[in-house]
A = this chain, B = another copy of it.
Amino acid sequence: MNSEDAFSQQPEPLTIARMAERTGLSADTLRYYEKAGLIEPIGRSAGNQRRYAVTDVDWVEFLLRLRTTGMSIVYMQRFARLRAVGDATVADRLALLREHRSELDERIRTLRENADALDRKIDHYERLLSPQQETDHA
Contact = CB atoms under 8 A, between A and B. Distances in A.
Interface of A: 62, 65, 68-69, 87, 90-91, 93-95, 97-98, 100-101, 104-105, 107-108, 110-112, 114-115, 117-119, 121-122, 125-126, 128-129, 135-136, 138
Pairs A-B, 10 closest by C-beta atoms: A94-B125, A69-B114, A91-B135, A65-B114, A90-B128, A101-B118, A68-B114, A108-B111, A104-B115, A97-B122
B68 A125 contact: no
Nearest to A95: B136
Contacts of A111: 68-69, 104, 107-108, 111
A43 to B, nearest CB: 25
How many identical subunits does the complex contain? 2
26 contacts: A65-B118, A68-B110, A68-B111, A69-B118, A90-B128, A93-B125, A94-B122, A94-B125, A94-B126, A94-B135, A94-B136, A95-B135, A95-B136, A98-B136, A101-B115, A101-B118, A101-B119, A101-B122, A104-B111, A104-B118, A105-B115, A107-B111, A108-B108, A108-B111, A108-B115, A111-B111
